[in-house]
Structure 1
Amino acid sequence: MNIFEYQKWITDFYKERGWYELNSFIRVNFLTEEVGEVSKAVRTLEIGIDRPNHRELSKEKQIENLKEELGDVLDNLFILADKYDIDLTEIMESHKEKLTNRFK
């Protein structure tokens, strides 16, 4: 699946469930929450969790959790871009150009 197909699919998925209608301010808050979950997943992989009630997960399960959380972040980014009719390939191309020019 390419980036365009996925953006269309996730947009339709969110619209079918009534999630797309949430305003962008709320969507950014969901994005922030998901970024926090990515942070927790990385922390678990790198230094673990030191809590008495925490169940230790295998490395494979920890990686699966990180993939899931990164997917949640991506979905929120795709929805925000769609709401403002932003082409994600344009973002990638312009950001690549910015970094290339900045760090020549």
Structure 2
Amino acid sequence: MKLPSRTDRLSYFQKYVAETEKERGFDKETALEKCLLLGEEVGELFKAVRQHKGIKTDPSSDTHEIGNELADILNFVFALANRFDVDLAEAYAHKETLNSVRSWT
């Protein structure tokens, strides 16, 4: 499968996150703070997967939706990319170009 030539949607979402962070007052959070928040969201994703797979969890803990947690993670990834001036569309395309010539055996 070829990498799509259109990456404008990914760039749009990255810009959207930058704007909504300003509107919501999150644009002053540091990269370190964003990393810690990302880690929390990954933990919530793990809990959602455990719940989905029927693995025992604390019955008093909140229920998490896998899609919502993935969206939260994506939001923090975009925010981190913005903190480091990384164009995720370009970075992803570049990394996939490197991956396409790697041996995976």
Which band: TM-score by shorter chain?
Answer: 0.7 to 0.9
Report what 2:28 is aligned to: 21
- Equivalences for 1:86-101 in 2 at 5 Å? 86-101=86-101
Q: How many residues align?
A: 97
Structure 2 residue runs without a partner (length 5+) = 1-7
RMSD, aligned CA:
2.3
CA distance in 1, matches of 2:61, 2:69: 19
Q: Deviations over 1:2-35 (max 9, x none)?
A: 1122111121111112111111001100000001
Instruction: Answer yes or no: is the 8 Å Cα contact 2:17–2:79 preserved in 1.
Output: yes
CA distance in 1, matches of 2:35, 2:57: 30
Seq. identity, %: 30
Could you list the structure 1 runs, at least 4 aligned residues long, displaced by more than 2 angstroms after superposition. 47-55
Structure 1 residue runs without a partner (length 5+) = none
Higher helix share: 1
CA apart distance, 1:48: 3.6
The one-letter code sitting in structure 2 at the alignment partner of 1:14 is E
Report what 1:82 is aligned to: 82
